[in-house]
Structure 1
């Protein structure tokens, strides 16, 4: 390893991160598609239309990410439990200190400093942004048209890029800006390209103009907050650049569990309030509805863990544009389920989104390789150890 040039090591490190990222991208796309179809079926066909309760259950399920990850890591490890548990706690603690300081090396004098107050505050404001963004979707779904809802909410990719510039010191690049713009154009083509905007043609059934405007404003706020949530997570809850892929993935799922725990222990408060006010009567699902909702919740948990890892390994911009691929995938699944073929606009818009994702992936790959090369040149100039192996126990 030491005989390899910095450029070669950089490409290997970038390829390793991208391999992991590709796996979690596929996992997030598949799980989101299944979750979307099941959630729509439970709400629309089975009649269990409990928006906030569904949001509470899905986000609360994230609390299982860390325990399930721990079981997987334990299954892989051959160490005695006391040694394994001690090393795992040390890994989480040291990574949390890196996250708070945004430095790879924590001074020895701060090794005993507790990062938990910082993580609790970070969990609170990141979860708040995520929850309000999610609620905006549920509130607007009955106030505006599906086309408006899809187009506006998925503009979060633009806001993720906009927030990345001041908060992540993201460089403004023409290729990235063009990719984000093309992706949003693709969403608009899918939403409006077939000439249908959600109007039924019957004035008695069409949405009231003022109500639709209010719904669009609500979902617009949600779009901004979802883009902000992705960037806040990357800025305040992800290890700094140069951290090993294994360490980053372990901490991503740990923080996802913290979001789930905050949801379970704090965000239950609106449930009885909504019930008393008659806005959303609390009612547990039963029978087939309960089973399908359970599968939907599990799929959302898998999506959440995969998406958090994807952001940690790459960037909010790439992850946000990657999420737009689900629009095209869900449309294809609907085609198979309903027998209604895709319109030309849906196909063209989907191809634009795929093209934008490919452009952004190439740009991100180049940036990652360049950053790794620069970091390794600095490391090799002052350290004989191979930086690629500094966190080998984490992978």
Structure 2
């Protein structure tokens, strides 16, 4: 006797049994998020983790580091060009036009950093013209907020607790002490400029690369590597050659300039600029340690947040550091006076160039390291000398050429060492899927 069996009703789409249906529901929910809710709920702190890789972790790490270095190289070129413009215009304003207001110029230049975020927002808006303003604004605010949470927690993939914690208090506190270190370091240069020689000023202040490496060891857990120590030492020797190996007639002029000052004033000026050099190296490391997202963050996110933090420094400067201006005016140490005519226009150019340099320099530190960024900044010594040569017709001295070559050699050696370190670090994060790509943004 045959037993009637119920007909088999197979799903027409090829699916069967509950587990697959459950998995399909999960896939559809993810698909819905990816296509329907992207603008409304970007969830920038969640990154896609690949289920398979077509290449080895070594290849992926090399490609990611190469991309990061390409972005950093662009900002390096921008920072060098803008620094030369800022240096030449500032020198022209003070020496040729006679508007010597060091603290006021410091306040204006650092305060101009507040415009970095505004300019960046305009560029991002042009890139995302297809989005409505509300959607674009929500995405941008979410990106900045989640990146600030990543900075505070030092997590690429935010935990539930970290994602619900407001980063405002942390960012205000970080902005305050980083800006304080920067302002004291920058102010020391203006204080010491009339107390010591130009050679001492250049040589001591640019030793900040050495102090950046020294502070990176305890604060950033940098390893003491011979190639890095050697590179920094070569760069420092190059600065010393430029500062002290100049032509005899310039040395004589330096001696004439300092003969009016006592040896005590020169010693005090060297101490002041020495403190400034230490603090500038500390400022770079503090920024990297407390205001940069962790390794594994995409270059795009790091760039956007670096300029945002630069704007926070500018806002802190404008809102707090105006206080010494009336005090200096009242004491007669620096009489407040608005620039007029040519001085005003040149000051606008100088301030804009400084903001461009500072924003690019912050991005460079965020994407690479404070040590490499410091040594890269030393390249401006040689570039300024080249510009002076074309501007005044006075050829470069042998000391300037030798010192410039040493600085460039040190920079390329340190670049290779840092590139190798970043690749190794990126490989570790790739193996743990603790990375993020710009496509996630």
Question: TM-score under structure 2 normalisation?
Answer: 0.86
CA–CA separation in structure 1 for the residues paired with 2:254 and 2:162: 63
1:45 aligns with 2:99: no
- 1:128 — aligned with what? 180
CA–CA separation in structure 2 for the residues paired with 1:110 and 1:303: 33
CA–CA separation in structure 2 for the residues paired with 1:244 and 1:312: 11
Where structure 1 has 5 or more consecutive residues not aligned to the other structure, the ranges are: 381-386
Q: For residue 203 of structure 1, report the CA deviation from its aligned partner.
A: 8.7
Where structure 2 has 5 or more consecutive residues not aligned to the other structure, the ranges are: 1-51
1:109 aligns with 2:156: no
CA–CA separation in structure 1 for the residues paired with 2:59 and 2:162: 34
- 1:139 — aligned with what? 191
- 1:15 — aligned with what? 66
CA–CA separation in structure 2 for the residues paired with 1:140 and 1:85: 45
Find the residue that maps to 2:396 and give its secondary structure. coil
- 1:27 — aligned with what? 78
Larger Rg: 2
CA–CA separation in structure 2 for the residues paired with 1:360 and 1:185: 15
Find the residue that maps to 1:136 and give its secondary structure. helix
Question: Of the candidates 231, 235, 247, which is equivalent to residue 285 of structure 2?
Answer: 231
Q: 1:169-188 residue pairs with structure 2 within 5 A?
A: 169-188=221-240
- 2:339 — aligned with what? 285
Q: 1:353-392 residue pairs with structure 2 within 5 A?
A: 353-379=407-433, 387=435, 389=437, 391-392=438-439
- 1:100 — aligned with what? 152
CA–CA separation in structure 2 for the residues paired with 1:379 and 1:336: 51
- 2:4 — aligned with what? none
Find the residue that maps to 2:156 and give its secondary structure. coil
Alignment root-mean-square deviation, CA: 1.5
Residues 207, 342 of structure 1: alpha-carbon distance in 2 compared, 3 angstrom cutoff: farther
CA–CA separation in structure 2 for the residues paired with 1:201 and 1:265: 41
CA–CA separation in structure 2 for the residues paired with 1:204 and 1:39: 22
Q: For residue 109 of structure 1, report the CA deviation from its aligned partner.
A: 3.4
Q: 1:243-282 residue pairs with structure 2 within 5 A?
A: 243-282=297-336
Find the residue that maps to 1:379 and give its secondary structure. coil
8 A Cα contact 1:146 1:198, kept in partner: no
Q: For residue 205 of structure 1, report the CA deviation from its aligned partner.
A: 4.3
Q: 1:294-305 residue pairs with structure 2 within 5 A?
A: 294-305=348-359
Range that drifts further, 207-216 or 33-42: 207-216
How big is each residue's C-alpha offset from its partner over 1:344-383, in whole Å with a ceiling of 9 and x where there is no partner?
Answer: 1110010000000000000011111111112112229xxx
CA–CA separation in structure 2 for the residues paired with 1:363 and 1:285: 46
Q: For residue 206 of structure 1, report the CA deviation from its aligned partner.
A: 4.3
Residues 202, 123 of structure 1: alpha-carbon distance in 2 compared, 3 angstrom cutoff: closer
Q: For residue 202 of structure 1, report the CA deviation from its aligned partner.
A: 4.7
8 A Cα contact 2:297 2:436, kept in partner: no
Question: TM-score under structure 1 normalisation?
Answer: 0.95
- 2:374 — aligned with what? 320
1:61 aligns with 2:127: no
Find the residue that maps to 1:2 and give its secondary structure. coil
Find the residue that maps to 2:432 and give its secondary structure. helix
1:168 aligns with 2:220: yes
Question: Of the candidates 189, 196, 218, which is equivalent to residue 241 of structure 2?
Answer: 189
Residues 392, 141 of structure 1: alpha-carbon distance in 2 compared, 3 angstrom cutoff: same
- 1:352 — aligned with what? 406
Q: 1:330-349 residue pairs with structure 2 within 5 A?
A: 330-349=384-403
8 A Cα contact 1:59 1:260, kept in partner: yes
- 1:383 — aligned with what? none
Find the residue that maps to 1:161 and give its secondary structure. helix
CA–CA separation in structure 2 for the residues paired with 1:73 and 1:214: 47
CA–CA separation in structure 2 for the residues paired with 1:278 and 1:268: 16
Q: For residue 207 of structure 1, report the CA deviation from its aligned partner.
A: 3.1
